[in-house]
Structures are given as C-alpha cells and as structure tokens.
Chains A and B, each alone.
Chain A
Amino acid sequence: TQLLEQSPQFLSIQEGENLTVYCNSSSVFSSLQWYRQEPGEGPVLLVTVVTGGEVKKLKRLTFQFGDARKDSSLHITAAQPGDTGLYLCAGLFYNQGGKLIFGQGTELSVKP
C-alpha cells in the first residue's frame, strides 16, 4: 500500500515570510499533483509534475519533483493572506490504476 506523508500539517506565518511544504513516499510516483482547497470547496489543481528533477513555477509558488520521483516540495515566497488554505499533494503510482493517493494536507494560515 502506497502511503504519502505530507508535512507540516499546520503552518501559521506572517505576511511576507517564506515557507516550504514537503510530500514524501517510499514508492516511486508516476506523477504527482499539487492542489489548493478552500473550506467547503473542491481541490483546485495548481500543478502536475512528471519528470524527476522537474521544477515548475507559478508566480510565487515553486514546485520541485525529486530526482528519484519519491518526493516533492512546494515553496511559497513572500506569502500573502490570499495564500491561506489547505494545500494537498496527491500522487499516482504505477500499477495502481488511476486513483490519486492524497497526503493529509497542510493547513496554511497567513496573517496580515
């Protein structure tokens, strides 16, 4: 059974600070997706990473996929209150069909 560990679970920071969220597995991902979710809504896709070592940027968000494709990170530069929300990583694993395995999520709160 593939497990996906996400850390930290909670993060409370001041506006302007930087932060990093980590996503790790003991198994190799075929691909990994990062989502952001607001209360009462469904997850909204931020990025999909497929290639080991890949780096993608989305404004102040930087996503990295580990060389071995077992880990990923999300770095936010100069966080803003609008970044507040639940960040979820979700992986697809080989031979597991199409189902996404989600981490527990990181609840981010950015205070003005």
Chain B
Amino acid sequence: DTGVSQNPRHKITKRGQNVTFRCDPISEHNRLYWYRQTLGQGPEFLTYFQNEAQLEKSRLLSDRFSAERPKGSFSTLEIQRTEQGDSAMYLCASSRLAGPSTDTQYFGPGTRLTVL
C-alpha cells in the first residue's frame, strides 16, 4: 500500500500526558498537512510543510502543539500536557504540488485521540 499512513490509529491518554503521532506521506509528495476533526464537523487545518519547511500554522495550534518534518519525509505531531478538549481525530494528508491552483490532497486513516 503506497497511501498515506498514520500511527498509532488510536491513542488513549490521561490528561496532562504528552502524545506523539507519526505520518508517512505518499512517496515523493513534497507537501504534508495536519488537520483535526471533531465529531460532526469537517476537518480543520492545523499546519503544513513543504519539504522540511513549516509554511503555515493555524491559530488552533496552541503552544502545546508542535509539528516537525525533519528530512522532508515523515512528520510528527506532538501534543504536550494534553487536555480533554484535544480529543479528536488527527488527520494527515499529502500532496505533490502541481501548480498554483491545484493541490489535490490525499488523506491517511487518521489517529483517534481520547484524553481521559
């Protein structure tokens, strides 16, 4: 399978703990995105990378959140001191930017985070 992969698929943690998620994009895709989705809503943008550069961060990404893509391949999203409000599905997507107007993004299966 050469699609976007995410690990773990599910994570249950206690409030105050740190968690880290990993995303492996489609090979040769230069852009990688993180989104968060809560129940009954569409995904919301968190941040994205072009190669190893983090180009944009949403206001949703508080200082407890940090994302890295050290070698322009896989990416990690870390949440420090988790809160119950962080419970959500965290989605990763990747794309190969083909031009200024088209950027078809392919999503991974997501990591479901539950903070107790």
* Residues of A near any B CB (own CB < 8 A): 6, 30-31, 33, 35, 40-45, 48, 50, 88, 90, 92, 94, 97-105
Contact = CB atoms under 8 A, between A and B. Distances in A.
B45 A100 contact: yes
A89 B35 CA distance: 15
Contacts of A90: 42-43, 105
B42 A33 contact: no
Nearest to A48: B104
Interface of B: 4, 6, 31, 33, 35, 40-45, 48, 50, 55-56, 58, 91, 93, 95, 97, 100-110, 112
A100 B105 contact: yes
Contacts of B31: 98
18 contacts: A30-B101, A42-B91, A42-B108, A42-B109, A43-B43, A45-B106, A45-B107, A88-B43, A94-B101, A97-B55, A98-B50, A98-B55, A99-B33, A99-B56, A100-B45, A104-B40, A104-B41, A105-B41
Give the residue among A42, A44, A105 with the most B Cβ atoms within 10 A: A42
Contacts of A6: 42
Contacts of A102: 42-44
A98 B110 contact: no
Contacts of A31: 101-104
A98 B48 contact: yes
A92 B103 contact: yes
Given A42-B91, A42-B109, A99-B45, A30 B104 contact: no
B3 to A, nearest CB: 9
Q: Shortest 4 CB-CB distances between A and B: which pairs? A: A102-B42, A42-B107, A99-B45, A30-B101
A44 B43 CA distance: 13
A104 B110 contact: no
Nearest to B112: A40
Nearest to A43: B107
A50 B109 CA distance: 26
A43 B91 CA distance: 9
A53 B83 CA distance: 45
